[in-house]
Amino acid sequence: MAERTAQRVWTTALGQLELYVTRANYETRLRHTVGLGVEPDNFVVGVPTALIREWLVTRLRSRVVQTVSAILGRPTEVSFEIVGDDHANGKGEAAITLEMGSTPPAVEVPSTVPEQRLNPRYTFKRFVVGDSNRMAVAAAIQAADNPGMDYNPIFIHSPPGLGKTHLLHAIAHHATRSNKAAVYVTSEQFTNQFVTALTGSRSEEFRRHYRSPQLLLVDDIQFLAGKSRTQEEFSSTFNDLHSNSSQVVVAADKPPASILGVESRLCSRFQWGLVTDIQPPDTETRMGIVKAKAADKGFDLPDDVAALLAERARGVIRELEALLSLVLTHPRLTDVPATLDHAVEALTALPPASASTPDANHLLHAVSAYFAISTEALAGKSRARPVAEARHTAMYLLREDGQLGLKQIGFLLGQRDHSTVIHGVQKVSHQLKTEPTTAAQLSEIRDYASHVS
Question: What's 398's domain CATH number?
Answer: 1.10.1750.10
239 found inside a domain: yes
Cβ contacts of 334 within 8 Å, gap of 6 or more = none
| 242 and 325, same domain (yes or no) | no
Percent of the chain with pLDDT over 70: 85
Helix (H) or strand (E) holding 430: helix 418-434
DSSP state of 21: S
Which amino acid, one-letter code, is at 415? Q
Residue 418 lies in a domain: yes
Q: How is 351-382 classified by DSSP, letter by letter?
A: PPP--SPPPHHHHHHHHHHHHT--HHHHTSS-
Beta strands of 220-291 (E only): which ranges? 247-252, 274-277
What is the structure's pLDDT at 358?
Answer: 63
From 21-30, 297-306, 376-385, the region with the lowest mean pLDDT: 21-30
Span 388-408, pLDDT tens digits:
999 999 999 998 888 788 888
How confident is residue 11, by pLDDT bands cut at 50, 70 and 90? confident
- Residues 6+ away with beta carbon under 8 Å from 270: 153, 155, 221, 250, 256
Whether residue 177 sits in one domain with residue 32: no
For residues 332 and 231, the model is more confident at 231
- Cα(112)–Cα(210) distance, integer angstroms: 9
Three-class secondary structure of residue 182 per DSSP: strand
Residue 43 banded pLDDT, cuts 50, 70, 90: very high
Asked if the bond preceding 280 is cis, omega within 30° of 0, the reply is no
Distance CA 282, CA 128 (A): 12
* End position of a domain, from candidates 96, 115, 133: 96
The per-residue pLDDT for 355 is 44
Burial of 263-297, coded b for 16+ CB within 10 Å and e otherwise, reads: beebbebbeebbbbbbebbeeebbbbbbbbbbeeb
Identify which of 210, 184, 27 has the alpha carbon closest to the alpha carbon of residue 112.
210
- Band (pLDDT 50/70/90 cuts) for residue 114 is very low
Helix (H, G, I), strand (E, B) or coil at 80: strand
pLDDT band with cut points at 50, 70 and 90 for residue 369: confident
186: domain range?
104-277
Instruction: Answer with the residue of higher pLDDT: 18 or 132.
Output: 132
- Across residues 57-82, what is the average pLDDT? 87
CA dihedral (220, 221, 226, 229) in degrees, to 10, reads 130
Instruction: Give the Cα separation of 320 and 220 in Å (integer).
Output: 22
Answer yes or no: do 88 and 114 share one domain: no
Considering the domain architecture, whether residues 54 and 144 belong to the same structural domain is answered as: no
Q: Which residues pair with 186 in a beta bridge?
A: 219
Ranking 79-93, 96-110, 234-248, 349-363 by mean pLDDT, the lowest is 96-110
- 156 with 23, same domain: the answer is no
**Residue 147 identity (one-letter amino acid):** P
Q: Are 300 and 306 in contact (CB under 8 A)?
A: no
Residue 37 placed within a domain: yes
Average pLDDT over residues 421-446: 83
* Candidate from 93-102, 127-136, 224-233 with smallest mean pLDDT: 93-102
pLDDT of residue 174: 94
Same domain, 340 and 439: no
Please, what is the average pLDDT of the chain?
81
Contact between residue 117 and residue 91 where contact means Cβ atoms under 8 Å apart: no
CATH number reported for the structural domain that contains residue 64 in this entry: 3.30.300.180
Find residue 247's DSSP bridge partners. 215
Residue 250: which pLDDT band, with cuts at 50, 70 and 90? very high
Residue 148, in any domain of the structure: yes
CA distance 184 to 168: 7
Q: How many CB atoms lie within 10 A of CB 121?
A: 15
Q: Measuring CA to CA, which residue among 399, 404, 375 is closest to residue 387?
A: 375
Domain membership flag for residue 414 = yes
Q: How confident is the model at residue 96 (pLDDT cuts 50, 70, 90)?
A: very low
pLDDT category of residue 141 using cuts at 50, 70 and 90: very high
Same domain, 267 and 318: no
107 has pLDDT over 60: no
Residue where a domain stops, chosen among 43, 70, 96: 96
pLDDT at position 112 is 33
Per-residue model confidence as pLDDT tens digits over 433-442: 777 678 778 8
- pLDDT at position 108 is 38
Helix (H, G, I), strand (E, B) or coil at 156: strand
How many residues would you count in the chain? 453
Domain match, 219 and 86 both: no
**Do 136 and 267 sit in the same domain of this protein?**
yes
- Structural domain total, the chain: 4
Last residue within a domain, chosen from 96, 115, 148: 96
pLDDT in tens, 188-220: 888 888 888 887 777 888 888 899 899 999 999
Tell me if 345 sits within 8 A of 328, measured CB to CB. Answer: no
The answer to whether position 237 is within a domain reads yes
Rounded to whole angstroms, what are the CA distances from 215 to 12, 70, 147, 222?
Answer: 35, 44, 7, 20
pTM for this structure? Answer: 0.55
Report phi then psi at 125, rounded to 5: -60, -35
Q: Is residue 325 part of a domain?
A: yes
Q: Do 6 and 64 sit in the same domain of this protein?
A: yes
Q: Do 112 and 258 lie in a common domain?
A: yes
pLDDT of residue 192: 82
